[in-house]
Amino acid sequence: MVANRYEPRELESKWRTRWEESGLYRTDLSQTPDERLYVLVMFIYPSGAKLHVGHWFNYTATDIWARAQRARGKTVFMPMGYDAFGLPAENYAIKHGIHPAESTAANIADIRGQLAAMGAMWDWDKELNTSAPEYYRWTQWFFLKLLEHDLAYKAEAPVNWCPDCKTVLANEQVVEGNCERCGREVVQRRMKQWFFRITRYAQRLLDGLETIDWPEKTKIMQRNWIGRSEGAELQFALADAPATRIKVFTTRPDTVFGATYMVLAPEHPLVPTLTTAAQRAEVEAYCLAARKATEIERTSTVREKTGAFTGAWAINPFTRQPIPIWIADYVLASYGEGAIMAVPAHDQRDWEFAVKFGLPIVEVVSPDGQEHLAEYDQAYPAQGVLIHSGEFDGLPCAEAGRRIAEQAASRGLGGPRINYRLRDWLLSRQRYWGAPIPMINCPDCGAVPVPEDQLPVLLPREVVFGQAQEGESPLATVPSFVETVCPRCGGPARRETETMDTFVCSSWYELRFLSPGYTDGPFDPEVVRRWMPVSQYVGGAEHAVGHLLFSRFFCKFLHDIGMVPFDEPFAKLNHQGMIRRMAYHCPRHGWIAFETTTPVEGSSSARDCSLCGQRTSVFDAKVSKSKLNSVDTGVYLEQYGVDTFRTYLMFMGHFSDGGVWDDSGIQGIQRFLARVYRLAGTVTVPFATIPRLPEPPTTTAEQEVWRKVNRTVQKVGADLTSFDFNTALAAMMELTNVLVPYADGQPDPTLLAWAVRSLVQLVAPFAPHLGEELWESLGGPYSVVDAPWPAFDPAGLVEDQVTLPVQIGGKLKGTVQVPRDATSEECLAAVLADAKLARLLEGRTRVKEIHVPNRMLNLIVR
């Protein structure tokens, strides 16, 4: 028997202790069960803040999914760990003088406790920490493997540099030309940086998308990011040095006869050599100015075109005419060949440039074979047939493009090409708190990799921040770290002082989880072979083209060097949606918290500012500190307990859409769970006598309950598999609405027990502590998570009521609810019981009834 009242707090800690002590969620990975599932949710960055409601949201959903699978007999492995390197800990150290190792350790200890309180099925024996030497030793080892296979290299590249944060930034960290973190204007710098050659995998990364079950929008983002373009490389010789050729990449080789000038990126290596003396000053000034603009600005379509003439000329290989060579910042050094043939008649950017600088415009593609240039006030970018293109006149664009590319190939001037927008992965950072890049610079031997048996290159504990020169990692000021000997010649040498971006650490963590203590390699190949790829991966869509691309690249590389038999790490992926909450903006006080507002009489949503009494504007906004609408998880957990909190999160909306947090909603969930709790107290029969599936009952009241249970079991089972947690909950609430009055009447005790037992099992993945408690109170064997999932009787799925359209004289007049397979008499009785229909029949004589059972009833009247 259960206690009278649902008191979550005590019950929850009791069960967590029991789970921990019995090792319920430890998975024996040395076994090879038939149906095994590796369930992974993106691991956590251990910041000093409390767990965010967003963490609760996707960790809970993943746990529910995993629990439902385990209840169906699958062996589930679900780990959790810490993505523990990164800039925030280092900035915190700079500000507060606490060493990143210390603050990270403290944060992990704190977060571990909070995670444990979620009651999720994490296997804590497999916890990992990317900042631990036994982990980053292997991150460094992967670096060496990539280097060995020519997939890691150091090169000078233009990068975004923040002078205040003293590090390079990714493009995503630059907002309108300023550092996202400190607001300082970012400068473009050329710096020697380490890259992984992910571009070599561009096509494989595209092809692999066809083999995995991921959200389509994420696949589209990856496809766009990889940016495959089919086209041609064409080579243009310099007019007065024909041996020198400028290569261009074009998607429109068909327009080559309209290429009336060329444009090189200001950074193009040929610019200094081909610029004439007369133009040098202007060109140099332009190049200097171009360095300041970010790529986003440079490629903006609304920005006014700028440029400078180099004084040099090239020969168009098809018209054989000399054309001027310009430089302009709308051509990027890092895309294609860093140079274009400009076709102003058919490319809008080139059109604007040509108009501004008075360059010739030649029409070579026409919709109908006639000239239209005189009518245009912008480029004509569409397809058509060629004109003014010599032997290619009259050909449609596609065909002409193919032939021109082929001819270029046969003349040794380029040929068909596929180009990818994807760039190599810049992985080095001028930071302390990361895995040191395992390289040694020797004055005699150059860059020498650290021998594998000398890994890990330990991050030294002693470091002083703020002493390094601009562009240098703090590690450069630690002599005991920097000074070493060359592994090749034994002479004095210096260590590489840059560290790896944290995305390198997270590119292989899913493999490490399976054998976190393994010392003979990054992972135990046997266990990985049996348990990978990850069956179900869950995490934020914001990682679509970062982590989710990098880890696919790593996996393909590992496959290629024979370390794993698969080449996609995550077979199935789901993203969580965003949690929102109403945000209130006062005209005088700006953003104010919900607690600082008072309700407006007669309105359900309007609220006044409690400070000044003015009406606030209300916004449905993503939860954030700046809008003062975040959810203080601690407060709610304290008040409602873990199970209610988890269940409410799942009820807010569809998992992939997120939802709007609402305080009254969580109260409703608490009431729902309390009702389930009370229902369990109404069961009077011994557990062993509850049938797995009862025979269909004979009385109407029992039949209704029987049908409702069967239908709910079926629906919840399906919904849990497809991440439709909100509709599963709605179905369980409906079932509760049927069961409560039934239990309060004179129920069939066995049927009721079966119904309640089913409900307890359905609720258990959402509210695992309550589920366990009620399961035990019913007499079920520990644990509910391993109890066979409730069965349903297909016969019980049939609707017991049908909505029957009623026609009078052949015209639809209304509907009535009747039992399935009701007789004509029963249907007629229902029509006469309906006030509206009965009135229509008043004073009329019924001559005939046409009844199609369960479909319609037509009354012919006179």
Type of residue numbered 444: D
Which of residues 250 and 319 has its CB atom nearest to ligand ANZ in the complex?
250
Binder of residue 346, out of Zn ion, ligand ANZ, none (CB less than 5 to 8 A by kind): ligand ANZ
Which of residues 130 and 199 has its CB atom nearest to ligand ANZ in the complex?
199
Rule CB under 5 A: choose which of 262, 293, 442, 705 binds Zn ion.
Answer: 442
Binder of residue 444, out of Zn ion, ligand ANZ, none (CB less than 5 to 8 A by kind): Zn ion
Three-state DSSP state, 137: helix
Report in angstroms how near the CB of residue 192 gets to ligand ANZ at its nearest. 22
Three-state DSSP state, 704: helix
Total length of the chain: 862
Query: What are the start-end ranges of the H helices in 535-604?
Result: 547-560
The encoded tokens of residue 249 equal 């990449």
Binder of residue 442, out of Zn ion, ligand ANZ, none (CB less than 5 to 8 A by kind): Zn ion
Which stretch in 188-196, 336-344, 427-435, 766-774 sits in contact with ligand ANZ by CB under 6 A?
Answer: 336-344
CA 568, CA 205: separation in Å to the nearest integer?
9
Binder of residue 156, out of Zn ion, ligand ANZ, none (CB less than 5 to 8 A by kind): none
Report in angstroms how near the CB of residue 229 gets to ligand ANZ at its nearest. 3
Q: Which residue has the tokens 């910042």?
A: 329
- φ/ψ (deg, to 5) at 213: -95, 85
Q: Strands of 446-449's sheet, edge to edge?
A: 446-449, 439-442, 492-495, 483-485
Binder of residue 79, out of ligand ANZ, Zn ion, none (CB less than 5 to 8 A by kind): none
For the chain, the maximum distance between any two Cα atoms, rounded to a whole number of angstroms, is: 114
Report in angstroms how near the CB of residue 205 gets to ligand ANZ at its nearest. 17
Report in angstroms how near the CB of residue 401 gets to ligand ANZ at its nearest. 10
Touching Zn ion, residues 472-501 (CB under 5 A)? 486, 488-489
Binder of residue 61, out of ligand ANZ, Zn ion, none (CB less than 5 to 8 A by kind): none
* Contact assessment for residue 501 and residue 428, using Cβ atoms and an 8 Å cutoff: yes
Binder of residue 486, out of ligand ANZ, Zn ion, none (CB less than 5 to 8 A by kind): Zn ion
Question: Given phi > 0 = left and psi -120 to 50 = alpha, else beta, which region is 258?
Answer: alpha
Touching Zn ion, residues 444-463 (CB under 5 A)? 444-445
Type of residue numbered 598: T
Which of residues 346 and 552 has its CB atom nearest to ligand ANZ in the complex?
346
Report in angstroms how near the CB of residue 209 gets to ligand ANZ at its nearest. 19
Report in angstroms how near the CB of residue 387 gets to ligand ANZ at its nearest. 14
Report in angstroms how near the CB of residue 381 gets to ligand ANZ at its nearest. 6
Which of residues 443 and 741 has its CB atom nearest to Zn ion in the complex?
443
Strand-strand pairing, 228-238 and 241-250: antiparallel
Report in angstroms how near the CB of residue 400 gets to ligand ANZ at its nearest. 12
Binder of residue 152, out of Zn ion, ligand ANZ, none (CB less than 5 to 8 A by kind): none
SS3 content of the chain, % helix, strand, coil (to 5): 40, 20, 40
Nearest of 82, 75, 79 to residue 103 by alpha carbon: 82
Which stretch in 198-206, 236-244, 280-288, 334-342 sits in contact with ligand ANZ by CB under 6 A?
Answer: 334-342
Report in angstroms how near the CB of residue 340 gets to ligand ANZ at its nearest. 5
Binder of residue 468, out of Zn ion, ligand ANZ, none (CB less than 5 to 8 A by kind): none
Report in angstroms how near the CB of residue 235 gets to Zn ion at its nearest. 41
Which of residues 336 and 658 has its CB atom nearest to ligand ANZ in the complex?
336
Distances (CA, A) of 394 to 1, 253, 386, 416, 497: 88, 15, 5, 21, 61
> How many beta carbons lie within 10 A of that of residue 546, not counting itself?
16
Report in angstroms how near the CB of residue 154 gets to Zn ion at its nearest. 17
Report in angstroms how near the CB of residue 440 gets to Zn ion at its nearest. 8
* Contact assessment for residue 833 and residue 847, using Cβ atoms and an 8 Å cutoff: no
Report in angstroms how near the CB of residue 468 gets to ligand ANZ at its nearest. 34
The encoded tokens of residue 827 equal 């249907």
Three-state DSSP state, 291: coil
The encoded tokens of residue 749 equal 């005790």
Which stretch in 288-296, 328-336, 689-697, 705-713 sits in contact with ligand ANZ by CB under 6 A?
Answer: 328-336
* Contact assessment for residue 234 and residue 417, using Cβ atoms and an 8 Å cutoff: no
Which stretch in 145-153, 335-343, 386-394, 447-455 sits in contact with ligand ANZ by CB under 6 A?
Answer: 335-343
Give the angle subtended at the CA of 578 by the CAs of 573 and 580, to the nearest 5°: 165
The encoded tokens of residue 759 equal 């409900």
Which of residues 440 and 760 has its CB atom nearest to Zn ion in the complex?
440
CA 772, CA 2: separation in Å to the nearest integer?
12
* Contact assessment for residue 690 and residue 750, using Cβ atoms and an 8 Å cutoff: yes
Binder of residue 402, out of Zn ion, ligand ANZ, none (CB less than 5 to 8 A by kind): none
Type of residue numbered 121: M
Report in angstroms how near the CB of residue 326 gets to ligand ANZ at its nearest. 13
Which of residues 72 and 403 has its CB atom nearest to ligand ANZ in the complex?
403
Q: Which residues contact 189 (CB under 8 A, 6 or more apart)?
A: 158, 159, 160, 161, 168, 471
Binder of residue 344, out of Zn ion, ligand ANZ, none (CB less than 5 to 8 A by kind): none
Q: Which residues contact 633 (CB under 8 A, 6 or more apart)?
A: 50, 51, 52, 53, 56, 645
Rule CB under 6 A: choose which of 229, 306, 703, 854 binds ligand ANZ.
Answer: 229
Binder of residue 783, out of Zn ion, ligand ANZ, none (CB less than 5 to 8 A by kind): none
Binder of residue 650, out of ligand ANZ, Zn ion, none (CB less than 5 to 8 A by kind): none
Which of residues 246 and 442 has its CB atom nearest to Zn ion in the complex?
442
CA 482, CA 480: separation in Å to the nearest integer?
6
Which of residues 136 and 335 has its CB atom nearest to ligand ANZ in the complex?
335
Query: What are the start-end ranges of the H helices in 341-382?
Result: 348-357
Burial of 434 (0-12, 13-18, 19+ CB in 10 A): buried
Interaction of residue 336 with ligand ANZ, rule CB under 6 A: yes
**Exposure of 96 in the CB half-sphere (CA atoms within 13 A):** 10
Touching ligand ANZ, residues 236-265 (CB under 6 A)? 249-252, 255
Q: Which residue has the tokens 């780990």?
A: 79
The encoded tokens of residue 408 equal 């270029």
CA 273, CA 4: separation in Å to the nearest integer?
89
Torsion of CA 778, 781, 787, 788, to 10 degrees: -90
CA 341, CA 405: separation in Å to the nearest integer?
14
The encoded tokens of residue 151 equal 């997939």
* Residue 340-369 contact track with ligand ANZ, rule CB under 6 A, x = bound: xx-x--xx----------------------
Rule CB under 6 A: choose which of 332, 395, 445, 606 binds ligand ANZ.
Answer: 332
Binder of residue 489, out of ligand ANZ, Zn ion, none (CB less than 5 to 8 A by kind): Zn ion
* Residue 706-745 contact track with Zn ion, rule CB under 5 A, x = bound: ----------------------------------------
Which of residues 364 and 440 has its CB atom nearest to ligand ANZ in the complex?
364
* Contact assessment for residue 791 and residue 761, using Cβ atoms and an 8 Å cutoff: no
Binder of residue 618, out of ligand ANZ, Zn ion, none (CB less than 5 to 8 A by kind): none
Report in angstroms how near the CB of residue 458 gets to Zn ion at its nearest. 21
List residues near Zn ion by CB under 5 A.
442, 444-445, 486, 488-489
List residues near ligand ANZ by CB under 6 A.
229, 249-252, 255, 331-332, 335-336, 338, 340-341, 343, 346-347, 381, 419
